[in-house]
Amino acid sequence: MKVFNTLSRKKEEFVPLEPGKVRMYVCGPTVYNFIHIGNARPMIVFDTVRRYFEYKGYDVNYVSNFTDVDDKIINKAIEEGVDSSVISERYIAECKKDMEGMNVKPATTHPLATEEIHGMVAMIETLIEKGYAYKAADGTVYYRTRKFKDYGKLSHKNLEDLQAGHREIKVVGEKEDELDFVLWKPKKDGEPYWESPWCKGRPGWHIECSVMAKHYLGDEIDIHAGGEDLIFPHHENEIAQSEAANGREFSKYWMHNAFLNIDNRKMSKSLGNFFTVREISEKYDLQVLRFFMLSAHYRSPLNFSAELMEASKNGLVRILTAVERLDGLLSSAAEAEPGERENAVRSQMKALVEKYEAAMEDDFNTADAISAVFEMVKLANTSVDETSSRALVEYVKGTVEALCDVLGIITEKKEELLDADIEALIEERQQARKDRNFARADEIRDTLAAKGILLKDTREGVKWTRA
Instruction: Compute the residue count for the chain.
Output: 467
Average pLDDT over residues 256-284: 88
| Distance (Å, whole) CA 8 – CA 4 | 8
Q: Residue 29: name the closest of 276, 294, 290, 304 by CA.
A: 276
Q: The CATH number of 2-257 is which of 3.90.1150.10, 3.30.1330.10, 3.40.190.10, 3.40.50.620?
A: 3.40.50.620
- Please count the other Cβ atoms lying within 10 Å of the Cβ belonging to residue 211: 27
Note the pTM of the prediction, 2 decimals: 0.88
Answer whether residue 240 shows pLDDT above 90.
yes
Average pLDDT over residues 102-129: 98
Give 68: exposed, middle or buried? Use CB within 10 Å, 0-12, 13-18, 19+: buried
Lowest mean pLDDT among 146-150, 194-198, 390-394, 462-466: 462-466
Residue 30 is classified by DSSP as B
Average pLDDT over residues 51-60: 98
Average pLDDT of the chain is: 93
Answer whether residue 172 shows pLDDT above 50.
no
Beta bridge partners of 60: 22
Amino acid at 117: I
Phi, psi of 255 (to 5 degrees): -115, 135
Answer whether residue 160 shows pLDDT above 90.
no
Residue 176 is classified by DSSP as S
Domain spans of the chain, in order of start = 2-257, 277-406, 419-466
Residues 393 and 385: beta-carbon distance below 8 Å: no
> What is the pairing mode between strands 21-26 and 221-227?
parallel
| Distance (Å, whole) CA 46 – CA 257 | 9
| Distance (Å, whole) CA 15 – CA 349 | 29
Instruction: Give the pLDDT confidence of 296-341 residue by residue, as tens digits.
Output: 999 999 999 999 999 999 999 999 999 999 999 998 888 888 889 9
Residues 6+ apart with CB under 8 A from 49: 24, 223, 225, 255, 364
Measured distance between the N- and C-terminal CA atoms of the chain, rounded to whole angstroms: 39
Report the alpha-carbon angle 435-438-442, nearest 5: 135
- Please count the other Cβ atoms lying within 10 Å of the Cβ belonging to residue 294: 23
Instruction: Give the pLDDT confidence of 371-419 residue by residue, as tens digits.
Output: 999 999 999 999 999 999 999 999 999 999 999 999 999 998 766 666 7
The class level of CATH for 277-406 reads: mainly alpha
